[in-house]
């Protein structure tokens, strides 16, 4: 609020005000859905890039892009931080880096939709662990049925791809748990910005070694920048707009559509045709996620750099 009691954004330039006004006229559901498609489109573009640039290098470019943007937006204050603050933020960054590194390795080995479906077991586990609702046992069984159905593959699933997706899911679960701790210690996006820098530094040796001289190719750098924008910056911005006007429960339900969105993007961009059993498996995991989220107010942050705030206020990525 400004000194006159009006909202602070009334003091912003007219162009920014017009953009904000335009954003307010768009239903928040569309922001979430476009953000989901943007994340998966970024993954699809990244998968196509693997032919000329290894996954380690691609994920490093994505992390680097998001770290630079978040630092510019958050401008975190670094003075006066305790050792515990830094340990939490760095741990958050380790989860962020592991999550992105592992899922990109999985994308290089198994279809996009299947990788994201397996990865989604991480946040789903966080949603139901510790729950005292008997109905959550149904959602666990339904997700388990989806995993069993994925085992009916006709050869397009490799053990390495599945293991990398499971590692990404475990890191996503850690990301969720550490996001709340980071939000309690850092204001707004500051913690996420610090974590993104830590994750970028962690992946840098593998990314630079794998990419080599190809990282000096301006064309590849531009594609890497596009992946970072699609996978982190665009969905982060849209989610921030949506979360101002949407209950977290509704947001969580919409986010449950990610595995299906990933399968559709894989079909359109990569020509990854899934069997009927695999589509049914994806449907089981989506339904389980919707069911587990339906009555839960706290929202689990997404893997793609979602903004961090102390729960239950929530907030990106």
3-state secondary structure string across the chain:
CCCCCCCHHHHCCHHHHHHHHHHHCCCHHHHHHHHHHHHHHHHHHHHHHCCCCCHHHHHHHHHHHHHHHHHHHHCCCCCCCCHHHHHHHHHHHHHHHHHHHHHHHHHCCCCHHHHHHHHCHHHHHHHHCCCCCCHHHHHHHHHHHHHHHHCCCCCCCCHHHHHHHHHHHHHHHHHHHHHHHHHHHCCCCHHHHHHHHHHHHHHHHHHHHHHHHHHHCHHHHHHHHHHHHHHHHHHHHHHHHHHCCCCHHHHHHHHCCHHHHHHHHHHHHHCCCCCHHHHHHHHHHHHHHHHHHCCCCCCCCCCCCCCCCCCCCCCCC
Distance in angstroms (rounded) separating the CA atoms of residues 190 and 219? 31
**pLDDT at position 17:** 47
Most confident of 26-35, 42-51, 125-134: 42-51
Residue percentage of the chain with pLDDT more than 90: 17
Q: Write the pLDDT tens digit of every residue in 233-272.
A: 788 778 767 767 777 667 777 777 888 888 888 888 888 8
The average pLDDT across 228-232 equals 85
CA 266 distance to own-chain centroid: 17
Give the pLDDT confidence score for residue 170 in this predicted structure. 92
Nearest-angstrom CA–CA distance, 39 and 13: 30
In the predicted model, what is the mean pLDDT of residues 278-289?
84
Q: What mean pLDDT comes out for the span 28-42?
A: 88
Nearest CA to 198 out of 98, 123, 297, 296 is that of: 98
**pLDDT value of residue 152:** 65
Per-range mean pLDDT, top range of 252-256, 284-288, 297-301: 284-288
User: How many of the other CB atoms lie within 10 Å of CB of 280?
Assistant: 15
Mean pLDDT on 198-215: 91
Average pLDDT, the chain: 78
Q: pLDDT at position 316, please? A: 40
CB distance 119 to 300 below 8 Å: no
Residue 4: what pLDDT? 47
Quickly count: other Cβ atoms within 10 Å of residue 250's Cβ: 16
Residue 195 has pLDDT above 70, yes or no: yes
pLDDT score, position 298: 47
Radius of gyration of the CA atoms of the chain, in A: 19
Q: Does 96 or 309 have the greater pLDDT score?
A: 96
Say if residue 138 is exposed, middle or buried (CB neighbours under 10 Å; 0-12, 13-18, 19+).
middle
* 150 pLDDT above the threshold of 60: yes
Whether pLDDT at 167 is above 90 = yes
Stretch 157-185: mean pLDDT: 87
CB contact at 8 A, 277 and 156: no
Q: What pLDDT does 138 receive?
A: 79
pLDDT confidence of residue 153: 61
Quick one: what percent of the chain has pLDDT higher than 70?
Answer: 81
Summarised one tens digit per residue, pLDDT across range 46-59 is 888 888 889 999 99
| Residue 185 banded pLDDT, cuts 50, 70, 90 | confident
pLDDT digits (tens, 9 = 90+) for 11-25: 444 443 444 555 567
For residues 20 and 4, give the distance between their C-alpha atoms in angstroms, rounded to a whole number: 20
pLDDT score of 164: 95
What pLDDT, on the 0 to 100 scale, is given for residue 105? 94
- The pTM assigned to this predicted structure is 0.78
């Amino acid at each position: 609020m400004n000194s006159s009691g009006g909202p602070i954004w009334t003091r912003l330039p007219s162009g920014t005000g017009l953009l904000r006004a335009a954003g307010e006229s768009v239903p928040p559901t569309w922001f979430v859905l476009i953000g989901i498609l943007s994340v998966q489109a970024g993954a699809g573009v990244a998968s196509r890039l693997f032919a000329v640039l290894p996954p380690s290098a691609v994920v490093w470019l994505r992390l680097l892009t998001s770290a630079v943007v978040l630092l510019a937006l958050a401008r975190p204050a670094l003075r006066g931080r305790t050792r515990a603050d830094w340990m939490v933020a760095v741990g958050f960054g380790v989860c962020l880096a592991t999550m992105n590194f592992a899922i990109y390795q999985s994308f290089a080995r198994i279809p996009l939709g299947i990788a994201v479906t397996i990865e989604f077991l991480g946040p789903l586990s966080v949603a139901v662990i510790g729950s005292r609702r008997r109905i959550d046992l149904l959602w666990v069984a339904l997700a388990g049925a989806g995993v069993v159905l994925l085992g009916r593959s006709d050869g397009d699933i490799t053990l390495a791809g599945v293991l990398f997706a499971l590692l990404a899911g475990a890191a996503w679960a850690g990301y969720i748990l550490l996001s709340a701790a980071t939000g309690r210690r850092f204001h707004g996006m500051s913690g996420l910005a610090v974590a993104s820098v830590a994750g970028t530094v962690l992946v840098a040796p593998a990314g630079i070694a794998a990419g080599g001289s190809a990282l000096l190719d301006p064309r590849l750098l531009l594609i890497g920048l596009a992946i970072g924008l699609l996978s982190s910056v665009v969905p982060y911005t849209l989610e921030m707009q949506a979360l101002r006007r949407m209950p977290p429960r509704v947001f969580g339900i919409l986010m449950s559509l990610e595995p299906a969105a990933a399968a559709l993007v894989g079909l359109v961009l990569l020509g990854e045709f899934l069997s009927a059993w695999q589509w049914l498996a994806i449907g089981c995991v989506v339904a389980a996620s919707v069911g587990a989220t339906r009555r839960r107010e706290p929202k689990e942050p997404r893997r793609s750099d979602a903004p961090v705030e102390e729960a239950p206020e929530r907030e990106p990525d």
